[in-house]
Amino acid sequence: MNHYAAGNLIRVSAAFTNSGGSAVDPAAVLLKVRTPAGTVTTYTYGVDAGLVKASTGNYYYDVDASTRGEWTYRWYSTGSGQAAAEGAFTIEASTFLEV
């Protein structure tokens, strides 16, 4: 698991492919982000401007992670390229910030 200082924008990304391994844009691409406090926010490509398509099948979101603790996220999609993947990162305590 990656560890970061408080105040960073943490880029989380996903790559979607078809059964042949070629990049594909699914019918829907969604991202759920859970804060250390347990608050879950869902982002949808095409609805939420922060969820960005970098190229065919490749998406990212920059998480404004200022709260200390473990953050988790889940990418998932529907249609051709349907997939799901989860990840996590930790925001460390800072001697300069109260988080």
Domain count, the chain: 1
Give the per-residue pLDDT at 30. 98
- Quick check: is 32 in a domain? yes
Look up residue 50 and give its two tokens. 């922060």
pTM over 0.85: yes
- Quick check: is 35 in a domain? yes
- Quick check: is 86 in a domain? yes
Percent of the chain at pLDDT > 90 equals 76
- Quick check: is 97 in a domain? no
- Quick check: is 48 in a domain? yes
40-67 average pLDDT score: 96
- Quick check: is 99 in a domain? no
Give the per-residue pLDDT at 79. 85
**CATH classification of the domain holding 6:** 2.60.40.1220
> What number of CA atoms fall less than 13 Å from residue 30's CA on the CB side?
12
> What number of CA atoms fall less than 13 Å from residue 8's CA on the CB side?
16
Q: Give the domain extent around 11.
A: 2-92
> CB 28: neighbour CB atoms within 10 A?
14
pLDDT(41) > 70? yes
CA dist 25 → 2, 37, 39, 73, 96 (Å):
27, 32, 28, 20, 42
One-letter amino acid for residue 91 of the chain: I
Q: Please give the Cα distance from 53 to 20 (Å, whole number).
A: 21
Q: Residue 64 carries which DSSP code?
A: E
- Quick check: is 24 in a domain? yes
